Amino acid sequence: NAVVTAEDSLIAPQEWDPLSVEERIIPGDEVTLGFDGGKSDDATALVAVRVRDRLVQPLAIWEQPDGPEGKLWEIDRVAVDGAVRNALETYRVKAFFADVALWESYIDAWSQEYRKRFVIKASPQSAVGRDMRNGLQELTQHNERLVAAIAHGSLTHSGDRTLRRHVLNARRRPNRYGMSFGKDVAKSSRKVDGYAAMMLADLARHKLLESGKYRQRNRKAGRVVVLR
């Protein structure tokens, strides 16, 4: 019954599982969001990270159904759009980084309609759109930063089983900048989109705090504090 971890696994179960907590992100919390969207075979994921304490919680992960039902299945874009908009209305979203691939028109709409709510932009071109096909150095560096945070217990998560599976599916993929991540093989059924969305949300939080533009109000004392 021993847990077997692939040699090239990015994160091991014994690193991820102890970080699960009972606490949850609640309406009104200040968060950053990450989004990685697919069409049919790839999963689609929307993940939040609470700014004040780095609590990770998936808000929705959509996956292709197994069996005959999944053969002609495609993601319900209207449902995804509704979930994103509900998150933007439910939480105090300080930054939102979304991979643009396959979702350009929706991301343009989210950016145009909600840009004034965000403290920082996802890229020079968009308040929300962050093309993961570009900016390899920054993404690689933050992947290493996130992996180190998990290893050192510097974040917590809600214990979601689907996100856990995606996190543990991620494999080490070295490049000229360091250690990135990917699937075990290109067309693998072992999805990592939840991990990608989590990394984007955590990158958004990192960039938010790094910008010096974010101030968090201490509700009990009525003070404003700067998170670093």
Q: Rounded to an integer, what distance in angstroms lies between the CA atom of residue 95 and that of residue 130? A: 12
- 128-142, 151-165, 172-186, 207-221: the lowest-pLDDT one: 207-221
- What's the confidence (pLDDT) of residue 225? 47
Q: How confident is the model at residue 227 (pLDDT cuts 50, 70, 90)?
A: low
Tell me the mean pLDDT in the region 93-104: 97
In sequence order, what DSSP letters do the residues of 150-207 get, joined into one string? HHTT--EE---HHHHHHHHH-EEEEETTEEEEE-SSTT-SS--HHHHHHHHHHHHHHH
Out of 13-27, 113-127, 162-176, 203-217, least confident range:
203-217
Return d(Cα 205, Cα 52) in angstroms, integer.
9
Question: Taking residues 79-86, what's their average pLDDT?
Answer: 98
Which pLDDT score, from 0 to 100, does residue 94 have? 98
pLDDT at residue 84 is higher than 90: yes
Distance of CA 32 to the CA centre of its chain: 9
Q: How far is Cα 185 from Cα 59, in angstroms, rounded to an integer? A: 27
**Sorting pLDDT into bands at 50, 70 and 90, what band is 186?**
confident
- Rounded Cα distance, 160 and 12, in Å: 16
pLDDT (average), residues 189-193: 95
Residue 41's pLDDT is 86
Q: What radius of gyration do the chain's Cα atoms show? A: 17
* CA geometry: angle 35, 15, 44, nearest 5 deg: 20
Predicted TM-score (pTM) of the model is 0.92
DSSP at 8: T
If you average pLDDT over residues 116-134, what whole number do you get? 96
Q: Are the C-beta atoms of 156 and 24 separated by less than 8 Å? A: no
Q: What is the pLDDT of residue 221?
A: 44
